[in-house]
Amino acid sequence: MSKCVNCGKGSKLISRALQACLECIRKDFERVWPSIQKVHARSRMEFDLPIKPPENPSGVKCNLCVNECRIPEGQRGFCGLRENRGGKLYGGGKDEGNLSWYYDHLPTNCVADWVCPGGSKSGYPEFSHSAGPEYGYKNLAVFYQACCFNCLFCQNWHFRREVYSTRKITAEQLADCVDEKTSCICYFGGDPSPQILHAIEASKLALRRTKGRILRICWETNGAMNPQLLEKMADLSLKSGGCIKFDLKAFDENLNIALCGITNKRTLKNFELLSDIAKTRPDPPFLIASTLLVPGYVDSEEVSKIANFIASLNKDIPYALLAFHPQFYMTDLPKTSITHAEECELEAKKAGLCNVRVGNVHLLGNAY
């Protein structure tokens, strides 16, 4: 059992890393932030990543994501990729992708598999090869090895070991990986945001080469990218039949900062921007939301707030509630329980959302 450093409350649903309970994060954040800040710093130093987004007034400004790092000479931005060399930014450009990729046969375990053309009947025949799962086709899964958030529960935290990798793939080399059986590309990570220029360029090349046949461009992201770049992403997905999957970590800004180290204001604003675009192409769904149900922190109240936010924009936006598996700095927390998932699902439906699903059900535990 762990105890909250602020109120002294003890529970197995309080992370030893955070040392703060959900109630104190929501209501007394200034008191608990110093201890939370220390664990975020420790988790960054372990991989030699900048502790926080640099804010040097004389530094070169990066505009790729919400952090808008002002990077001093010889140093790097929060993502670890963008570096100031002689007053110019290097890394994260359109022709140098720090990534790994693989083919994932369809239908696959995608956040949107139950509504996307690759795993369902949606989008047929314009954007899908079949009126059901696209058996015989595959997804080009592109994992970008950098991120603009610092999620203490990161399910793919191992990418941090590769942020400084010297192995780079050009946009053209990535586009070359699209063969005749590739019907979609999905960018995830980490997060695509720090390398969004590369993803956009690779997508344009791939679509140009496959003109006249199906190739959907999809994204799985924390949604913290520059809004102007988001519009370019959206245009690629909208026209190709792809989707943009936003991982809404939390609604409460304090909770998002506690769990991820960064504000969610840009994420929510960008989601709202995409919700207007989504209305222009209802089939297949253009915008999908997901939330990881972190025990003790992302509770039914938090899901209710997220769901009501989504419903206020468009009740038809699909919403996936994902089971948590103990990872990274939150290994002491239990798996999401069946009860927790059911309570959150009920709250999402009460908000009026028409398409709610619990994902990763194989990870659900019986009890806390």
CA–CA distance, 311 with 26 (Å, rounded to integer) = 23
Of the candidates 1, 247, 240, 269, which has an alpha carbon nearest to the alpha carbon of residue 118? Answer: 240
Domains in the chain, start-ordered, CATH in brackets? 1-46 (no CATH), 49-91 (no CATH), 99-363 (3.20.20.70)
Determine the pLDDT at residue 166. Answer: 87
CA–CA distance, 92 with 343 (Å, rounded to integer) = 41
Determine the pLDDT at residue 275. Answer: 97
Dihedral over alpha carbons 249, 252, 254, 260 (to 10 degrees): 0
Q: Which two tokens stand for residue 342?
A: 């059911």
**Burial (Cβ within 10 Å: 0-12, 13-18, ≥19) of residue 237:** buried
Of the candidates 32, 38, 26, which has an alpha carbon nearest to the alpha carbon of residue 8? Answer: 32
What does each C-alpha distance from 223 to 16, 94, 206, 282 come to in angstroms? 28, 19, 23, 20
Angle between helix 253-260 and helix 29-45 axes, rounded to 10 deg? 30
What are the DSSP calls for 192-217, one per residue? Answer: SGGGHHHHHHHHHHHHHHTTTS--EE
Determine the pLDDT at residue 368. Answer: 62
Cβ atoms of 344 and 359 closer than 8 Å? no
Strand partners, 144: 99, 189
Compute φ and ψ for 169, nearest 5 degrees.
-120, 125
Tokens 């809004």 — which residue? 227
Determine the pLDDT at residue 363. Answer: 82
CA–CA distance, 265 with 309 (Å, rounded to integer) = 13
Cβ atoms of 330 and 152 closer than 8 Å? yes
pLDDT in tens, the chain (368 residues): 899 999 999 898 999 999 999 999 999 999 999 999 999 999 999 999 999 999 999 999 999 999 999 999 999 999 999 999 999 999 999 989 999 999 999 998 888 999 999 999 999 999 999 999 999 999 999 999 999 999 999 999 999 999 999 889 999 999 999 999 999 999 999 999 999 999 999 999 999 999 999 999 999 999 999 999 999 999 999 999 999 999 999 999 999 999 999 999 999 999 999 999 999 999 999 999 999 999 999 999 999 999 999 999 999 999 999 999 999 999 999 999 999 999 999 999 999 999 999 998 888 877 66
CA–CA distance, 54 with 52 (Å, rounded to integer) = 6
Cβ neighbours around 124 below 10 Å, total:
17
